[in-house]
A and B are shown apart, each in its own frame.
Chain A
Amino acid sequence: MKSIRRHLTVLLLSGLVVLSSSCGVGFYFFVRHALTAQFDRALHDKAAAFAALSSQNDEDEDERSVPLDELPTPVKKSMAQHVAGAELSEVEQITRDGRLFYKVEVLRDGAEWEFLLGADGQFLGENDEFGFAFDKAALPEFQPGQNPEYYQVWDEDGETVAKSPSLEGDRLTPPSGMNDGVTFFDTSLPQEQVVRAIAFPFVPRRQDGDLAVPAGERVVLVIARTRAELDHTLATLRYSLLISGLLLLVSAAIMVRFSVQSGLRPLAALAHQATSIDANTLSSRFSTGPTTEELQPICSRLNELLDRLQSAFDREKRFTSDVAHELRTPIAELRSLAEVGLRSAASMHGQEEVSSYLDDVLAIATQMERLVNSLLMLVRCESGQQLINLDHVQIDALLDESWRSLAETAQERGLIVHFQIPEDVAETTDPVLLGAVLTNLLSNAVAYTPRGGKIQVSLTEDRSGRTLQVVNTNNQLTQEDLTHVLEPFWRKDQARSETSHSGLGLCVALRLTTLLGMSLTVDLPSTSLFRVTLNLGKLHSVETTNCD
């Protein structure tokens, strides 16, 4: 079975998973991209500065020869250490960007050798053919140490022309395409994990004479820097995203569960209310007051349904109790008759007295039978089980037949009866059912017309069809009673009058006429007259399909 709670929970949670994970992944890639770009930009800036330096160094540099005795003591000590066994040619003091270096030129074994010392005498690297080392090696980030940066320069033939001191014995991997412009790539060094590198081709414009690269020739500079910090940052970001995602999901699951539960609470309350309603508590209603907006229409509909149910149930209950009540009196009669009969059995005098008892038994049985027949007819009409057999019916003959059994009673009660029926009026309908309707109308008139009163039965025809009217003297009914006359078991005087009418006659007649597609109405044309109008329906073109 489909559960709203489960459905909402699954929907909300899965939506949240998709949404938060895509947000998280998107955010991670955005940040990674931004950080990498920043990293790359820093590399690029460095490379560009590097290239610029290499073409500008001479302009910015202030080089001058320094006599040995003017050298500071640390430089002297360091020099003596490095120069040992070689012939010193010259010491130049270089000022670059406000920093002081000492370039030492020596002759060793007939070859010229240069090296660079810092102002504190630190050995910064030896000059190579290209001469970069002197310029760039001076930068502390390229010195071996904690997380150094690396550079290496290749000429067009793939020969290394310079590399940073931090590389020591290692080499950087040259980029695959040497002439592809600026590219970024990841590579690895044996002692270092993974480094990020930029390949930066440029043409150095050095003017000093010891240029190993012919002027105007391209070189490729690769500057690399460890990725460890970046990777670490990214990993931290990944983990924190994952953990916060999980936390979000867990808290969302709790929240969704809670909010779905509290959101559905009115529904549960409604269900609770509904379970408390059974056949005995049909009068209770769903509260439509402080309930939720969405449930309001449901409650209203349910209440309407309950209204209908209750009235149907009440009607049914009243009907049942009316039936029981109607049967009580004849049963009480029968029982008293039998009990008194039994008590007096010994003293009964002959056939005559026994016959009078039996006559009464028969009369009671007949009365009950009539009641049961009416009830059955009513129930069949209501449940739609009453079959209709259409036939050609002579209305006047049917009226005659219905009247026959009532004529005697009418005469006894001194009723003045007048029939105004045209002859040979035919209708296609069910003769048995219409007969029952007519008998009910007529016997009702006979029973409730006061002694000496009048009954008039007339049949008229006009454009709207045939209309049968039964009008009888009645000085008891009021306008208000008219709403009840057609209800089952209704009688003006709730006590049994001298007739044994159960109060079902007009009710049964009404149901039957509805079944036959006719209409039955009651009214009081004047204060002392009661009129039942039976509209037999549209005039059927009584095409005489008779066979004569």
Chain B
Amino acid sequence: MRILLVEDSERLQTYLSKGLRMAGYAVDSARDGEEGLWLATEIEYDVVILDLMLPKLDGISVLQQLRASGRDTHVLILTAKDTVPDRVHGLEQGADDYLVKPFAFEELVARVQTLVRRGYGTKKSEITVGDVTIDMAHRVVRRGSADLRLRPREYALLELLALRKGDVVSRTEIERHIYDEQADPVSNVVDSAMCILRKKIDVPGAPSLIQTKRGMGYRLQGPGL
């Protein structure tokens, strides 16, 4: 899932990006409001994490202009402004969530995850495909009671397919949501990632849970459907 982090504190930006990437998100970041607004308008992020006090263009203006441009990306405001009027104003201007600094990183991840799920229209935190269960709250994948060990990006790929379970997800879409601007997705990166993922979740001999629709993309579907 791809996230935009608009935050003017350099250190906070560094560590939050690092932490979010470790949690399996693709993270782009912006240092000021103008850059943040440009990125958020250009790219379809799953979640935008937005500071309010930003140089050049403040967070509320970024939010207003983003909404005015027709983007309904989920926005989480992350700020040191903690008064009730501030929170209410932020939510009224179109934010989906509001988190006050200082915060627990874990909580930030949980809230981001909730917003991601909401983006795909599900409130369940577990998705089951065949005998594989994807636990989005704990970011683990299990077959039966055994945990499958996935790298963050492999997990993100599976989660995306799971959230769109039954749909064909195009390669471009996968590239857009799983890779941030730091990664350089060469044409076959999705194919090779898909190959590794299949090896990890499929039972040898059985038909694969991930089907390739040539020229269209991939589909995650349980057996018998």
Contact = CB atoms under 8 A, between A and B. Distances in A.
A336 B19 contact: yes
Which of B58, B80, B106: most chain A CB closer than 10 A?
B80
B111 to A, nearest CB: 14
Contacts of B19: 336, 339-340, 343-344
B8 A331 contact: no
B80 A335 contact: no
Chain B contact surface mostly: loop
A408 interface: no
B103 interface: yes
Nearest to B14: A360
Nearest to A328: B80
B104 A335 contact: yes
B55 interface: yes
Interface in B1-15: 8-9, 11-12, 15
Contacts of B16: 336, 340
Interface in A292-326: 321, 325
B36 to A, nearest CB: 12
Interface stretch (A80-88, A384-392, A421-429, A492-500): A492-500
A337 interface: yes
A493 B58 CA distance: 9
A518 interface: no
A344 B18 contact: yes
Contacts of A334: 102
Contacts of A344: 18-19, 22
B53 interface: yes
B81 interface: yes
A334 to B, nearest CB: 8
A283 to B, nearest CB: 16
B48 interface: no
A336 B15 CA distance: 6
A333 B22 contact: no
B105 interface: yes
Interface string B75-102: 0000011110000000000000000111
A363 B16 CA distance: 17
Interface string A471-505: 00000000000000000000001111100000000
B54 interface: yes
Nearest to B78: A332
For the side of the interface on A, what is the size category?
20 to 34
B3 to A, nearest CB: 15
Given A325-B80, A340-B22, A332 B53 contact: no
B15 A333 contact: yes
A329 interface: yes
Contacts of B18: 340, 344
B44 to A, nearest CB: 26
Contacts of A325: 80-82
A240 to B, nearest CB: 76
A332 B12 CA distance: 7
B55 A332 contact: no
B103 A496 contact: no
A522 interface: no
Query: In the complex, which of the residues A336, A340, A497 has the most CB atoms of chain B within 10 Å of its own CB atom?
Result: A336
A333 B11 contact: yes
A364 interface: yes
Contacts of A496: 8-9, 53
Contacts of B83: 321
A332 B103 CA distance: 6
Contacts of A340: 15-16, 18-19, 22, 105
A493 B59 CA distance: 13
Contacts of B58: 494-495
A334 B9 CA distance: 12
Nearest to B83: A321
A209 B101 CA distance: 142
Given A340-B18, A496-B8, A335 B54 contact: no
A491 to B, nearest CB: 9
B224 to A, nearest CB: 39
B12 A336 contact: yes
Contacts of B32: 495
Nearest to B79: A328
Interface string A322-358: 0001001101111111011101100000000000000
Contacts of B55: 493, 495, 497
B12 A333 contact: yes
Contacts of A331: 101-102
A250 B157 CA distance: 98
A336 B16 CA distance: 7
Contact of A329 (B15, B101, B104, B105): B101
Contacts of A493: 55
A333 B15 CA distance: 8
A50 B114 CA distance: 132
B101 A339 contact: no
A421 B59 CA distance: 44
Contacts of B53: 494-496
Interface string A360-379: 10011000000000000000
18 contacts: A332-B101, A332-B102, A335-B102, A335-B103, A336-B12, A336-B19, A336-B102, A336-B105, A339-B19, A339-B104, A340-B16, A340-B18, A340-B22, A343-B22, A344-B22, A364-B11, A495-B8, A497-B55
Given A333-B11, A340-B15, 20 more contacts: A325-B80, A325-B81, A328-B101, A329-B9, A331-B101, A331-B102, A332-B102, A332-B103, A333-B15, A334-B102, A335-B105, A336-B15, A336-B16, A336-B19, A340-B22, A340-B105, A343-B22, A360-B11, A494-B53, A495-B55
Q: Which 8 A-B pairs have the closest CB atoms?
A: A332-B101, A340-B19, A328-B80, A332-B102, A339-B105, A495-B53, A331-B102, A336-B15
